[in-house]
């Protein structure tokens, strides 16, 4: 039978971001996949060299709407490292609180997209209804639902008062009840299991050799989570990365769903342990030297490289996002599957091309 090359993307209903997978097929079976990225380029890394290090914070936050806060936090941590600046402890706890809210709403977004990908439109809306509560919390505490702009070099620009803490706790209880209601329907449904169990298998050794990160790696029983490095206030919050062993699309879904509960618990712990005190210190001097930052985004490790030359402008900023690290895993996940499985398997790594192509 003749082989046919079928382009999946750069525009597809299940993946509205511009990535193309060239699928080499024999009838309905996929034999080979060739990822093709590069449809978007915004010049953000170059922009970091021509804007001063304070202005760059606002640009970095716009790399991705879903990961906006964590991008800003990672950048600020790197600049603070170059400046030798120790930020207030309360600011570190506030950063953890907002980072976990970002992870929570990102995972709820993805669970909704998974439901949509297999045809559960009403469940998709239910997931996003719960996610709206998280966005409301972000708006209440930072002033914005999408681009929070809460981190600054030296700490954070906003505080959370006792009244807001009470509202957050009540809202998290509501979110947990909502997740409790939808997850059994999602994870025990015959159709969803038929589309995910045994599909897109990534073994532990493949995940390690291909450099997989985040839930993609943890779904293949790789104990990798940058929060274990204890940046910000994660040194005060004990947790164990959630692992699954099957390595298929269903395992990756299980990791993300369980991490929603984990993020809720970590937010509550951060609010409980948060000390009183200032939330910001004024930075002095210019960035000098080299440093790196490794932070856990909802999709996995984001890696930042900084090089300062003693002026207000960075000499180099390089960013490697988790989607870029996870795209190679598609080379072993997709071959052997049927054409109909490609959208769900691709969705299972939660690709974010906005982050990937800065």
Average pLDDT rounded to a whole number, residues 146-166? 94
| Beta carbons of 302 and 67 less than 8 angstroms apart | yes
- Of 41-55, 155-169, 239-253, the range with the lowest mean pLDDT is 41-55
- Whether residue 74 is predicted with pLDDT greater than 80 in this model: the reply is yes
Determine the average pLDDT of the residues in 318-339. 93
Q: Which residues of 63-98 are buried (b: 16+ CB within 10 A; e: fewer)?
A: bbebbbbbbbbbbbbbbbbbbebebbbbbbbbbbbb
Measured distance CA(100)–CA(192) in Å, rounded: 27
pLDDT of 20 reads 86
The pLDDT score that the predictor gives to residue 38 is 79
Q: What pLDDT sits at residue 14? A: 67
Tens-place pLDDT, residues 105-149: 999 999 999 998 888 888 899 999 999 999 999 999 999 998 999
pLDDT value, residue 232: 94
Q: How far apart are CA 145 and CA 68, in angstroms?
A: 10
CA angle in degrees (0–180, nearest 5) for 294-267-271: 115
pLDDT at 353: 83
- pLDDT band per the 50, 70, 90 thresholds, residue 151: very high
Q: What is the mean pLDDT of the chain?
A: 92
Reported pTM: 0.95
Spatial distance between the Cα atoms of 358 and 350, rounded to a whole number of angstroms: 17
Distance CA 269, CA 188 (A): 30
More confident residue, 265 or 64: 265
- 167 compared with 28, residue with greater pLDDT: 167
At 55 the pLDDT is 92
Which residue is listed with tokens 């093709």? 36
pLDDT band of residue 322 (cuts 50, 70, 90) is very high
pLDDT at 300: 95
pLDDT of residue 219: 96
pLDDT band at 207; cut points 50, 70, 90: very high
Q: Place 325 in a pLDDT band, splitting at 50, 70 and 90.
A: very high
- Top-confidence residue, 292 or 7: 292
144-177 as b/e, with b when 16 or more CB fall inside 10 Å? Answer: ebebbbbbbbbbbbbebeeeebebbeebbeebee
Q: Which helix (H) or strand (E) holds 355?
A: helix 353-356
Say if residues 301 and 107 touch (Cβ distance below 8 Å). no
The predicted pLDDT at position 164 comes to 96
Using a pLDDT cut of 90, give the percent of the chain over it: 76
Residue 6 CB neighbours (<10 A): 12
| Residue whose structure tokens are 């699309």 | 249
For position 126, what pLDDT does the model report? 92
Q: What is the pLDDT of residue 237?
A: 94
pLDDT at 223: 95
Residue 256 has pLDDT above 80, yes or no: yes
Per-residue model confidence (pLDDT) at position 139? 96
Question: What proportion of the chain, given as a percentage, has pLDDT over 70?
Answer: 99
Q: What is the pLDDT of residue 1?
A: 61
211-230 pLDDT, tens digit each? 999 999 999 999 999 999 99
Domains and CATH numbers, the chain: 41-322 (1.10.645.10)
In which band, very low, low, confident or very high, does the pLDDT at 203 lie, cut at 50, 70 and 90? very high
């Amino acid at each position: 039978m003749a082989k046919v090359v079928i382009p999946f993307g750069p525009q597809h209903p299940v993946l509205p971001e511009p990535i193309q997978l060239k699928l080499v097929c024999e009838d309905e079976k996929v034999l080979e996949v060739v990822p093709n990225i590069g449809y978007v380029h915004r010049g953000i890394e170059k922009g970091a060299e021509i804007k001063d290090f304070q202005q760059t914070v606002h640009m970095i936050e716009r790399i991705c709407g879903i990961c906006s806060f964590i991008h800003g936090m990672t950048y600020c941590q790197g600049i603070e490292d170059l400046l030798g600046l120790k930020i207030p402890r309360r600011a570190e706890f506030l950063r953890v609180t907002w980072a976990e809210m970002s992870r929570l709403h990102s995972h709820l977004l993805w669970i909704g997209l998974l439901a949509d990908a297999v045809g559960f439109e009403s469940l998709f809306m239910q997931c996003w209804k719960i996610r709206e509560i998280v966005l409301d919390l972000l708006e209440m505490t930072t002033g914005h639902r999408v681009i929070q702009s809460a981190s600054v070099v030296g700490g954070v620009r906003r505080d959370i008062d006792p009244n807001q803490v009470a509202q957050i706790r009540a809202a998290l209880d509501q979110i947990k009840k909502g997740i409790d209601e939808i997850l059994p329907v999602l994870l025990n449904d015959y159709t969803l299991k038929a589309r995910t169990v045994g599909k897109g298998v990534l073994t532990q050794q493949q995940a390690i050799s291909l450099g997989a990160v985040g839930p993609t790696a943890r779904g293949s029983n790789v104990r990798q989570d940058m929060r274990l490095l204890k940046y910000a206030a994660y040194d005060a919050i004990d947790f164990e990365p959630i692992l699954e062993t099957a390595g298929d699309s269903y395992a990756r879904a299980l990791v993300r769903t369980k991490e929603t509960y984990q993020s809720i618990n970590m937010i509550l712990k951060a609010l409980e342990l948060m000390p009183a005190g200032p939330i910001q210190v004024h930075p002095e001097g210019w960035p000098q030297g080299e440093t790196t930052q490794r932070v856990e985004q909802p999709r996995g490790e984001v890696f930042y490289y900084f090089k300062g030359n003693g002026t207000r402008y960075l000499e180099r900023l390089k960013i490697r996002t988790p989607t870029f690290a996870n795209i190679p895993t598609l080379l072993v996940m997709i071959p052997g599957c049927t054409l109909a499985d490609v959208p769900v398997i691709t969705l299972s790594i939660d690709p974010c091309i906005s982050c990937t192509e800065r």
